[in-house]
Amino acid sequence: MTPEHIIRYIRELYQTEDFIPLHEPRFAGNEKQYLLNCIDSTFVSSVGSYVTRFEDMVAKYTGANFAIATVNGSAALHIALKLAGVGPGDEVITQPLTFVATCNAITYCGARPVFIDVERQSMGMSPDSLLQFLSQHTTQTEAGCINKRSGNRIAAVLPMHTFGFPCQLDRLVQICTQFQLPLIEDAAESLGSYYHGQHTGTFGLLGTLSFNGNKTITTGGGGMILTNDAALAQRARHLTTTAKVPHPYEFQHDEVGYNYRLPNLNAALGCAQMEMLPRLLASKRALALEYAAFFASSDHELVTEPDQTLANYWLNTLIVPDQSKRDLLLQQLNAAGVMSRPIWTLMTKLAMYQDCQAGDLTQALWLEQHVINLPSSARLT
């Protein structure tokens, strides 16, 4: 199967000879109406009815007891880590195959990431690698789970649901419970993804979502903290609202807080997008099925959802067995105006994280060399 063959097929899927982006938003519902309503109300900043409505819609959809809207997914992850008790000098176990925001949020807390391998199928954190690392490299003390090598406390475990494909959450939860570690899910890419019938981001102590412009639904920029713990939810709202003590007119703040709340204008867009979500997910699933059928007779493999999961297929992911062919395909697709991209550079190769402790990363390294993301925008008529 030649690159030219693939380019022609994708153009047929999207029925255009123009530039095809990797993932662009679709506004085909009440977006303009809600935005105009928000502007007319004059409540366009972090206070307004659309914020509450958007939080309620996301909480109901995901099954979380509480949803707290933030200005972006990085802010949501930063606060989730702080709520879990991650602080200066701590370490957080995560995966090297992720978007940089995962590790940046750890760093915002004054902590450092520790990297373990991912699974080939889900591309998310490997439970086997997690259990092996904790069993061989940590010890339990009164201060918590201590890394034998650094002497620092392991404060949390942070998997990421890569491209919307859920990790093995039941085993990750079991291992975290065994070692008395909080699990925080970076579910930025997995709105609409389920593991054994339960929405991602709701298995751990906290989970986070992103509504960036390239996500399944968008608020332009935005994020969400998910939790079932009422006290954590209340504290999340407090911290993300500059730790302001409620008062009709006085400004009192009882700790260092963050101006992280989602503006009402963005939330208005989010409400309309949530109404569109079932339609968007159905379109993306249909697209994934067409890609899978197309590549079935080739030596390329389209990543499909693991057993007992339902993926949102945020980005369709193709594995090309030969790296040189993968690189050529990337070059020719982009040169032809069909946007595609490789998977992220591993976090362990970035200057700010290359000195962090890492286990065996065989699968992550292999995926870095063989993965390509194909155009995945929903096709709405």
Residue appearing with tokens 């807390």? 109
Alpha carbon separation from 91 to 116, 124, 125, 186, 368 (Å, rounded): 13, 19, 16, 16, 24
CA dist 306 and 48 (Å) reads 40
pLDDT at 1: 79
CA dist 210 and 71 (Å) reads 9
Instruction: Tell me the domains of the chain and their CATH numbers.
Output: 31-274 (3.40.640.10)
Contact in structure between 49 and 264 (CB atoms under 8 Å): yes
- pTM for this one? 0.96
pLDDT at 40: 96
Q: Give a three-class secondary structure readout of 186-248.
A: ECCCCCCCEECCEECCCCCCEEEEECCCCCCCCCCCCEEEEECCHHHHHHHHHHHECCECCCC
Q: Give the HSE-up count for residue 204: Cα atoms under 13 Å, Cβ half-sphere.
A: 32
**What residues are paired with 167 via a beta bridge?**
none
Helix intervals (H) in the chain = 3-14, 31-41, 49-62, 73-83, 100-108, 127-137, 169-178, 230-240, 264-295, 323-335, 362-370
Contact in structure between 84 and 229 (CB atoms under 8 Å): no
Virtual torsion, Cα 117, 118, 119, 125, nearest 10 deg: 120
Contact in structure between 235 and 81 (CB atoms under 8 Å): no
Q: Which helix (H) or strand (E) holds 309?
A: strand 309-310
pLDDT at 31: 98
Residues of the chain predicted below pLDDT 50? none
pLDDT at 46: 85
Strand order across the 66-70 sheet:
66-70, 223-227, 206-210, 184-186
Contact in structure between 211 and 57 (CB atoms under 8 Å): no
Q: Phi and psi at residue 197, in whole multiples of 5°?
A: 85, 0
Alpha-carbon dihedral sign for residues 210, 59, 311, 157: positive
